[in-house]
Structure 1
Amino acid sequence: MLGAIGLALLGAPLITLPTPAFGGDPILIAIASDPVQLRLHCFSTRCGDEEWKAAMAPTRRDPVIDPADLPPLRKVALPGQQRVIGGVSAPATSRESRALYSNDYRVGTRYGVQALRDGPTQIGLSFGAGYRLAPLADDGINRPGAVFRGELNLGQRISDRARWTQRVQIESGRGDTFVKQSVRLDVDVWQNWKLETDFAIRHDNRGGGGSESAESSIELIRRF
């Protein structure tokens, strides 16, 4: 059946469509016989006869974002920027001190050093030169003139409540020498209550002679 139909189609005469008449002009007849030549030249990037190409989807435009609407940037800590200990301040203090002083009975200069200050034992030393204005105004020689002064301080913490302190003062000038030794014991007996004991010996050498004196005190102090 199918073979008969195919033979009938092959044997049938070809039918040609009549060519439209264009006044017998051979150029128009050639253009009409080839429709491709009827297309206009396209000099743009997108021609109007691209109907056989798939239409491209319109390009989506990203919305405009205001920088003020963006979340704040997270601060990243770089290596070496971290603090080992935060919120702690321990300013260093010098072990040495220098001072110029003047009062009603003496003017001079003083240099001090703390040999030991951290721990239960403290040792301090100071010395300097000056001029005594008035005798017997404080501990020192008994006449005015140039003097040399020195001082040694020893401290020892015996326990959490008791502390022992010894102080030695020396002043020398114009052949006279004055020495004072004092011993002090402070004990915390109760909350805001302290027992203070003080013992001092004074030695004054006046031109080869001398005199000594001693005094002591015991005080119970209440702190408010």
Structure 2
Amino acid sequence: MLGAIGLALLGAPLVTLPTPAFGGDPTLIAIASDPARMRLYCLSTRCGDEEWRLALAPPPAKAPDIDPLDLPPLRNVQLPGSQRRVGGIRAPATSRESRAMYSNDYRIGTRYGVQALRDGPTQLGLTFGAGYRLAPLHDDGINRPGAVFRGELNLGQKLGDRARWSQRVQVESGHGDTFVKQSVRLDVDVWRNWKLETDFAIRHDSNGGGGSESAESSIELIRRF
């Protein structure tokens, strides 16, 4: 019976008592007639009945005890760089042979190249192919358009740790004419970023039996930055 009465009191609306008289001042009478204006402002961020909710809430469930022996074993993870050596990895070897089709403003054709020597101090390479010359006197070759055969020989030799000698021979033949260019080059590392380059070239053109020949050379001191 007492419990029912208590619940009725808790759920009943708030009863406002009669306001006393404050003379005949209209302002005092208006304030006294509205008790809500006489209440202090609540600046709390918590609800007034939160302590009741916390008291009535069930306690949090307790985490079950875990036996360390029941845990799965840790995996043995190897971090990058922890291995002493990496085996089975090899860089792919580059082919000594090359095939290509090309076209430019003055010649179209195909060529085949092979590097006979390339890993030691001596390098030897050979390239040959056939094509069609579109315009003469735009690069090294015969002085007329038409079908041509081209060949090239490259020879290089390392001289010590600072010098390298190389020779290049180019041949183009077609329509009874033959063009040959021989160039010799010597590069020397003088001091750190300084390099001495020398180049000498001879051109020979049969030109229908008449023939012509020219030569040129250059010496350059180059500074690398």
**TM-score w.r.t. structure 2 length?**
0.64
Number of aligned residues: 157
Secondary structure of 1:198's counterpart equals: strand
CA distance in 2, matches of 1:222, 1:194: 7
| Superposed counterparts of 1:92-103, under 5 Å | 92-103=93-104
CA distance in 2, matches of 1:222, 1:122: 26
Deviations 1:37-79 (A, max 9, x none): xxxxxxxxxxxxxxxxxxxxxxxxxx9969982222448xxxx
CA distance in 2, matches of 1:147, 1:65: 87
| Superposed counterparts of 1:41-120, under 5 Å | 69-74=71-76, 85-86=86-87, 89-120=90-121
Q: 1:203 aligned to 2:204? A: yes
**Amino acid of the structure 1 residue aligned with 2:142:** I
Show the counterpart of 1:214. 215
CA distance in 1, matches of 2:70, 2:207: 88
CA distance in 2, matches of 1:68, 1:165: 74
Deviations 1:80-115 (A, max 9, x none): xx9974596522111011111000100000100000
**Amino acid of the structure 1 residue aligned with 2:72:** L
Please provide the CA RMSD for this pair: 2.6
**Amino acid of the structure 2 residue aligned with 1:114:** Q
Compared CA separation, residues 67 and 203, structure 1 to 2 (3 A): farther
Larger-Rg structure: 1
Show the counterpart of 1:140. 141
Moved over 4 A (4+): 63-68, 82-89
Q: Structure 2 stretches of 5 or more lacking a match? A: 1-64, 78-82
Q: 1:152 aligned to 2:153? A: yes
Show the counterpart of 1:127. 128
CA distance in 1, matches of 2:130, 2:177: 15
CA distance in 2, matches of 1:155, 1:217: 19
What is the CA distance between 1:209 and its match in structure 2?
1.8
Show the counterpart of 1:55. none
Deviations 1:153-173 (A, max 9, x none): 000001110000000000000
Secondary structure of 1:91's counterpart equals: coil
